[in-house]
Amino acid sequence: MYLIWLRVAVIFYVIASLAAVPAVLYAFPRWRKACLPAATLAFFFHLVSVVEMLGLRHSWVPVGYGQVESIMGLLIAGLYLVIRGIYGTDSFGIFALPAAFLLVFVPSIGPSRYVFPSNGVRVGWLIVHIAFLLAADAAMAFSMVSSFLYLAQERRIKSRIMKRGAVRQQVSMWVSLDWLPPLDTLERIAHATLLIGFPCMTVGLIVGSLLAQESVGPAYFFDPKVLLSFGMWLLYIVLLYIRRSAGLRGRRAAYLSSGTFVIMLLVWAANHFSQVHRFPAP
């Protein structure tokens, strides 16, 4: 019975996470009204599930990775609700609620691994997993290129300003960059591609977690590429949150985007050491 309550909690964690992300990162205030009730219901059903789970074992000590993950998710969700109640901020929801969902999602499947009804269904979800993660990587690459072009355009403009009023000697090295769009356009492109890439990466990681339960089980979460992917996902959230809350723009935003791009390169490099994500040889 505790699995039923845990699965109900997963549904509310999904609703709360979907409400928290647009409310905090995308400035949609209407979503805030759904975030707190959904998070509260998720915590309640999650708590009932944990109490019943431990009661069936007649022990208050968790056994196995599934129970530890479930209790950790419960503590994260509970701490978020405490902070929300005391300080009245939803900002931590973009970290806590998706993290609680990811921790609870695997234990909610049950002690046995999930089995897809057919190989065609599994291949379909695998295509979704790969497509969304590649879309996220492509969006991050566009954001990074836009950031680099922003820095080049900014330096070119400053070079022109410094030479204004002076005698023109030689053609400036930045004349070849006349084709670049304005700084504001480059800034908006960099930010827009980040906003597109984040939901793609989130969907890709969730689908990948489901796929892994059939093949490798909990060992999936110890894979270096998986750890780096979730690290990139967290850095994605930090980047979007800082840009939104602090109004970070221009050069500092470009430098911060570089960190996420470096993590993306590390994720690709980790494929050579991964035991789960090795691309098949031709």
pLDDT at 102: 80
Q: What is the CA radius of gyration of the chain?
A: 23
Q: Are residues 26 and 157 in the same domain?
A: no
pLDDT at 99: 84
Tokens representing residue 190 in the block: 């960099």
Q: Are residues 222 and 270 in the same domain?
A: yes
pLDDT at 275: 57
Q: Are residues 138 and 203 in the same domain?
A: yes
Q: Are residues 87 and 149 in the same domain?
A: no
- pLDDT (tens digit per residue) in 104-137: 887 887 666 566 777 888 888 889 988 998 898 8
Query: Which of 112, 133, 155 is the C-terminal boundary of a domain?
Result: 112
pTM of the predicted model as reported, rounded to 2 decimal places: 0.69
Sign of the dihedral defined by the CA atoms of residues 240, 96, 229, 45, in that order: negative
Within the chain, residue ranges assigned H as helices are 2-25, 32-57, 64-87, 93-109, 119-163, 183-215, 224-245, 250-269
Q: Are residues 98 and 132 in the same domain?
A: no
**What's the CATH number where 24 sits?**
1.20.120
Query: Which of 112, 138, 167 is the C-terminal boundary of a domain?
Result: 112
173 CB-contact burial (10 Å; exposed 0-12 / middle 13-18 / buried 19+): exposed
pLDDT at 272: 58
Q: Are residues 188 and 262 in the same domain?
A: yes
Domain housing 245: 120-282
Number of domains in the chain: 2
pLDDT at 181: 75
Q: Are residues 70 and 125 in the same domain?
A: no
- Smallest CA-to-CA distance from 112 within 10, 208, 214 is with 214
Tens-digit pLDDT string for the chain (282 aa): 788 999 999 999 999 988 887 787 766 777 788 899 999 999 999 999 999 888 877 777 766 667 888 888 999 999 999 999 998 888 888 888 988 988 888 788 766 656 677 788 888 888 998 899 889 888 888 887 887 787 777 777 766 655 554 444 444 444 555 667 777 787 788 778 888 888 888 888 888 877 776 666 555 666 667 777 777 787 777 777 777 665 556 566 666 666 666 766 666 666 655 555 554 444
Query: Which of 112, 140, 166 is the C-terminal boundary of a domain?
Result: 112
Q: Are residues 166 and 281 in the same domain?
A: yes
Instruction: Answer yes or no: are the C-beta atoms of 194 and 143 closer than 8 Å.
Output: yes
Q: Are residues 140 and 231 in the same domain?
A: yes
Rounded distance between C-alpha atoms, residue 39 and residue 188, angstroms: 32
Rounded distance between C-alpha atoms, residue 15 and residue 37, angstroms: 10
Q: Are residues 81 and 170 in the same domain?
A: no
Rounded distance between C-alpha atoms, residue 208 and residue 184, angstroms: 36
Q: Are residues 82 and 139 in the same domain?
A: no
pLDDT at 171: 44
Q: Are residues 55 and 91 in the same domain?
A: yes
pLDDT at 212: 73
